[in-house]
Chain A
Amino acid sequence: MLETVIFFLFAAVAVVAGLAILLSTNIVRMAYWLIAMLISVAGLYFLMGAYFLGVIQILVYVGGVAVLLVFGVMLTSRQLAPRLRPGPGEALWLVVVATVLLIGLILSVTHARFDQGAIVASNSVAEIGHSLLGDFLGPFELASVLLLVALLGAAYLARPKAPVQGAQQRKGTAI
């Protein structure tokens, strides 16, 4: 009973936050609604017993991706409340794509057969570690290489394209 209450609490926050992201026009507010949604999804993970996943969700998504998003928004917007209003053509596309996705989701949820067995709470971290370095070694290494490529690409794209003349005076900044 308590579980149901908590589930509905987290789910309500997630849904409301998701809706708020869509309906809001202020980019910074959107970013923070996104953070609220990610944290409530992490709460749902905790509720299901997937502690490791929930913690990684907060560490990576909220502590990494969302911070990056917020930085990007704040550094590139010119005023305090940057507005983002989709045009009429975009709105049409939005409706079409959203309807298709919704139908697909409903179909997949109704036709799926969920395993009714209870989740065995085990030492999830050790098991995840074993499977990452055992069964799923290939995807793990591939994902690492992908991240490395993304890092290198970002560093290359963000390099200063012209030599900064003033750098000579500050040559002693490194420790």
Chain B
Amino acid sequence: MTYIPQRPPVQYKGLSLVIARLATWLGGIVIPLLLQLAWPVFIAAIVVIVAFVWVVGRFINPLLPWIVRDFIVVVGLLAFACIVAIIGIWGERKVAGRIQSRLGPMRTGVWHGWAQSLADGLKFVQKEDLIPREADGPLFRLAPYIALVPAFCAYLALPFGVGWVFRDADVSLLFVLAMLAIEVLGVIMGGWASNSKWSLYGAMREGCQLVSYEIPMGLSLLAAVAATGSVSLVQLGEAQSGGWFSWLIFRNPFLFFAFFTYYVASLASCKRSPFDLPEGESELVAGFHTEYSGFRFVMFFFAEYVAMFAVSALATIIFLGGWHSPVGGPSTPLWFLIKSTFLVWVQMWIRWTLPRIRIDQVMHACVKYLLPFTLLLFLGSSLWQLIDNPTHPVFEGFAHLLHYGLGVIGLLLLGLYFAGMVYGYWNRNRLVGQMARKHLPGA
């Protein structure tokens, strides 16, 4: 007979018995009943919230409109972040499919599987909540939240447009960086609390990597800050309001490269390929979130996509002109969304093309190459600011030449990208091959 270890049956006595019975009654009977009568519950909830707001309003009257507005905006931001994650997951699978000459999800939701993320979410919610017996319970449960909540908080200071920001603080750039730095702890906690050597390896690698790559990330952004003189994201965005030549990426050649170093460092800070060792799927099964299943795993997953959009948004605001239109129309938050989405798309592109870098190579790359390079860029950008003196006619001419030259290079890069896109689309049948085409769905 095989020995199957049994948990000793728990026996409640006294007060704990009452509490246990109450919890069972609530959880087993009352709440399912309420969920069945969902509509009345929602209406009742709205009534309760309105009553609460009225009661609160009687005591802190002057602040009520602001509190309500803040509440609505925060809920809207939360919803936006969730939508970003959901669309991000769906988009990732479609992009992956197209790069791999297949189609990606096609069935859930009639059009191109748009409801795949929703279906996945529903699936995850139904899963059994497994916690390894030897795991550190409270820390294990807490870790996904520590990974997810700071990523959401970063959106509080991100401006989508001039009036479109929750709180326009002087230090919004640093605030966003600080929020992204807290996420490290959640991931380490998750790896540690799982009490599994594989997860621990993932957590250690990830901690090293994230903390190291925060430095080139911050330094590249600081180069841009030095060029503008402000740490506030709204002001950084507004400093690029003179058409696409005035974008910070084209301001001086050092900032041009600072954009790319920031982008690479942000890839590492989001744990995206080629820096996805922490979730190295083929080596550590799933790295620090090996032991997580169900909704806790969804939280880690969401945190990744929310952080991806946040760092892309930072890059957009600081280097790519934020909400300003490149073609000379009105500056709307729509342009901000388009540019950030494009950067997220490039992140997905990179993920499905490049292999994974080993941890010691990652650290070598950061400390030996990226860090000195970004320091040089910072130095160069600051020096440029020093001698970018309007009273020096020679230098002014040279600066303008370089300014526009960089802009032309940027246009060329963009043009190359579009040309590649058009070529791929035009020859999409030929590139795959005749007989293989018969196997593709829709043939």
Contact = CB atoms under 8 A, between A and B. Distances in A.
Query: Do any beta carbons of A and B sit within 8 angstroms of each other in the complex?
Result: yes
Interface of A: 1-2, 28-29, 32, 35, 39, 51-52, 55-56, 58-59, 62-64, 66-67, 70-71, 74-75, 80-81, 123-126, 173-175
Nearest to A75: B204
A28 B192 contact: yes
A123 B231 CA distance: 10
B376 interface: no
B211 A74 contact: no
Nearest to B142: A32
Contact of B169 (A32, A51, A58, A64): A51
Given A58-B178, A63-B181, A174 B139 contact: no
Interface residues of B, number: 42
- Which of A55, A58, A123, A124 neighbours the largest number of chain B CB atoms within 10 Å of its CB? A55
A58 B153 CA distance: 13
A51 B360 contact: no
Contact of B134 (A1, A66, A80, A123): A80
B171 interface: yes
A125 B171 contact: yes
Contacts of B169: 51
B204 A67 contact: no
B63 interface: yes
B13 to A, nearest CB: 27
A62 B136 contact: no
A55 B233 CA distance: 14
B72 interface: no
B136 A80 contact: yes
Given A28-B136, A51-B169, A55-B178, A63 B195 contact: no
28 contacts: A2-B60, A28-B136, A29-B139, A35-B185, A51-B171, A52-B171, A55-B171, A55-B174, A55-B175, A56-B174, A59-B174, A59-B178, A59-B181, A62-B182, A63-B181, A63-B211, A63-B214, A67-B185, A70-B185, A70-B188, A70-B189, A70-B207, A71-B204, A71-B207, A74-B192, A80-B134, A80-B195, A126-B229
B139 A59 contact: no
A125 to B, nearest CB: 5
B170 interface: yes
Contacts of B368: 174
Nearest to B192: A74
Interface string B137-158: 0110010000000000000000
Interface in B24-70: 59-60, 63, 67
Contact of A74 (B59, B178, B200): B200
B177 interface: yes
B369 interface: yes
A83 to B, nearest CB: 13
B224 to A, nearest CB: 14
A81 B136 contact: yes
B108 to A, nearest CB: 39
A125 B195 contact: no
B360 A173 contact: yes
A10 to B, nearest CB: 15
B192 A67 contact: no
Nearest to A52: B171
B358 interface: yes
B428 interface: no
Interface in B354-379: 358, 360-361, 364-365, 368-369
A58 B181 CA distance: 8
Nearest to B66: A2
B314 interface: no
Given A28-B139, A67-B188, A174 B181 contact: no
B184 interface: yes
Nearest to A66: B185
A125 B173 CA distance: 12
A142 to B, nearest CB: 21
Contacts of B207: 67, 70-71
Contacts of A173: 358, 360-361, 364
Contact of A174 (B182, B204, B231, B361): B361
A59 B177 contact: yes
Nearest to A74: B192
Contacts of A67: 184-185, 188, 207, 211
Contact of B184 (A2, A56, A63, A75): A63
Interface in B211-265: 211, 214, 229-231
A58 B192 CA distance: 22
Contacts of A1: 59-60, 63
Nearest to A51: B171
Contacts of A75: 204
